[in-house]
Amino acid sequence: MTHFTLHGFFRSSAAYRVRIALNLKEAAYDQIAHHLRQGDQRAPDYLRLNPQGLVPALEVDGEVLTQSLAICEFLDEIVPDPPLLPRDPVRRARVRAFAQVIACDIHPIQNLKILNRLRDLGIDEDGVKHWAAQTIEEGFDACAALIADEPGPYCFGSAPTLADVCLIPQLANARRFGADLRWPRLLEVEAQCCLLPAFALAAPDRQPDAA
């Protein structure tokens, strides 16, 4: 199987997603940490890998891939089992939609870059934390509604999908910012996922750079 090098940061929820996907695919990978709060992601050497100056980036066979959802779908294509997306096109679109609520609508407006811009505008730490928590709560209200009628124990049935890969890291963010965890269905999914080594081993506190 191809070997991968993952550029990330232990607390980055986008890198966390890719760690889960790699683990689900049982893919061996090395990690190179870039400390986001110290600005490592803006170093010239890293910008040559990812001009956007964000993590994650995944090196594979001389190529560099960016954007966590694109990486996860790439992994799903080269290692089809276990699948992250259903075969049925409608189910596949629903899983993608759930994942994109998190990756495109919740996470980007509560990530470090945006929070630092709020601080630069003079908003105090309580205000910054409230912004992040409110963003997460509004997004998770939608996520909970999207899977309200779906069978468990995972977001979309009996096996983890891309939806679960995105959900678990975002719940970690929710706790970090003090969001109101008012979604029993999402928390049930989280509890089930955390029983799987692929999720447990990807957790931020299990990463080499967490020390």
Tell me the one-letter amino acid at 166. Answer: C
SS3 label, residue 86:
coil
Q: Does domain 89-198 have CATH number 3.30.479.10?
A: no
| Beta strands across the sheet bearing 57-60 | 29-33, 4-8, 57-60, 63-66
Distance between CA 180 and CA 202 in Å, rounded?
24
The string of pLDDT tens digits covering residues 114-131 is: 999 999 999 999 999 999
Fold exhibited by the domain 4-82? Glutaredoxin (3.40.30)
What's the 3-state SS for 60-83? ECCEEEECHHHHHHHHHHHCCCCC
**pLDDT of res. 111:** 93
**pLDDT of res. 204:** 98
Distance between CA 100 and CA 85 in Å, rounded?
13
Closest C-alpha among 23, 102, 29 to residue 65: 29
The string of pLDDT tens digits covering residues 23-60 is: 999 999 999 999 999 999 999 999 999 999 999 999 99
Domain parsing of the chain, residue ranges: 4-82, 89-198
Residues of the chain predicted below pLDDT 70:
1
Burial (CB < 10 A; 0-12, 13-18, 19+), residue 155, is: buried
pTM of the prediction? 0.96
**pLDDT of res. 2:** 82
Does this chain's domain 4-82 share its CATH topology with 89-198?
no
**pLDDT of res. 3:** 85
